[in-house]
Amino acid sequence: MANVVVVGSQWGDEGKGKIVDWLSEQADIVVRFQGGHNAGHTLVIDGVTYKLSLLPSGVVRGGKLSVIGNGVVIDPQALLDEIATLRKQGVTVTPDNLRIAENAPLILPLHRELEAIREADDSATRLGTTKRGIGPAYEDKVGRRAIRFMDLADLPSLATKIDRLLAHHNALRRGHGLGEIDGKAVYDYLAGIAPQVLPFMDSVWSLLDAKRREGKRILFEGAQGSLLDIDHGTYPYVTSSNTVAAQAATGSGLGPNAIDYVLGICKAYTTRVGEGPFPTDQMDNAIGKTLGERGREFGTVTGRARRCGWFDAVLVRQTVRTSGIDGIALTKLDILDGFAEVKVCVGYRLDGREIDYLPAGELAQARAEPVYESIDGWQEPTARARSWAQLPAQAIKYVRRIEELIGCPVTLLSTSPEREDTILMKNPFET
């Protein structure tokens, strides 16, 4: 049985929720392998809307095992709140259908406070984050001072680990002119929440290895998008984890040979939330506003309006390569219905020369100007099309041109938020 990784191929918000839900119905296990509760998925199942931030999408489907891997940073209170919300909607969440890696780092209130302080600063520390403590938690992981999930099961040794953590954070707080954090308050918070979350703890790498050997289908669910990757994204305007497909192995404890197919998700245009370079940004004109209104471009987690622009084939071609994408799921094609002309970025002009890649440097990225190719639009609707025969000829031409430019086939086409409005060319699980 094939195991499939789903990753965003732009800056996130590509419509992964619908695609992951469609795939999770076929999977036995759904795994989150990076990020935290800063990434939102909206699922609509039988007319009921579920908004997930931390939990894998499979949790809303009966008979699926959901797993949060070691690559995820976990806010235990946010975890409990999300579980409580789902239970009110009639979704059962127990250790029978949710397991959490014992070595996953925790997000604490001090992490959220630190990130909020940085984002409120008018200096260069502002990056447009969700202020949920994701970045500071990953900093502590790399700094080898994080409190991890398993530490909640060993309360006698927790105080020493908290002291090690606060030696760093209290120095930071003094630098910001803030009072120091009392270690006992941190201990009491963790000791109080431990009994509620520890039943979900497991040795995830071992669990997944056993399930894989049993022939179970595993779906690895990425958060955010490849252009927010800490190494391969538009640094420093990125998230604090690796979002490319290779992280599915590292962030779950399975080897890379466990991955059989990588499906990249991207919109038929481009969006971005927050700060950072965006070569095809159209938010200052009618095109960007029209895309935003039609596409209802507001962040699931933050509610912030997304910046909107034309499809950037250069960027998606790069993510196809850095994530090893085998096929693309192209979403929101219907949002382009009615445009007299659509444009695609096919290259950049930088300092008087044309290049076919986005440079790694922050200042060079900001100077890169898009080189566009214009394609005639279509007036007939693509919305709710479920076969190629129902698509206008110009819409098909647009999709085929995208395939040529990014060097990857479009294997799935979404024409509305409804899961049935999907044109499937290849099922990733049947590789």
Is 13 labeled as catalytic in the residue annotation?
Answer: yes
Task: For residue 418, count other CB atoms closer than 10 A to its CB.
Answer: 13
Q: 274: which residues sit within 8 A by CB, 6+ positions away?
A: 127, 128, 129, 237, 304
Q: How many CB atoms lie within 10 A of CB 202?
A: 18
Other beta carbons within 10 Å of 145: 18
Report which DSSP code applies to 344. Answer: E
Q: Please give the angle made by the CA atoms of 154, 242 and 151, to the nearest 5 degrees.
A: 0
Active site residue 21: no
Given the residues 13, 151, 281, 334, select the one marked as catalytic. 13
Structure tokens at 372: 């566009």
Residues constituting the chain:
431
Q: What is the 3-state secondary structure (H, E, C) of 268-285?
A: CCEEECCCCCCCCECCCC
What distance in Å separates the CA atoms of residue 186 and residue 183, rounded to the nearest whole number?
5
Residue 63 backbone class (left: φ over 0; alpha: ψ -120 to 50; beta: rest): left
Candidate list 37, 41, 111, 169, residue with the active-site label: 41
Cα–Cα distance measured from residue 84 to residue 121, given in angstroms and rounded to the nearest whole number: 34
Question: Which residues are the active-site residues?
Answer: 13, 41
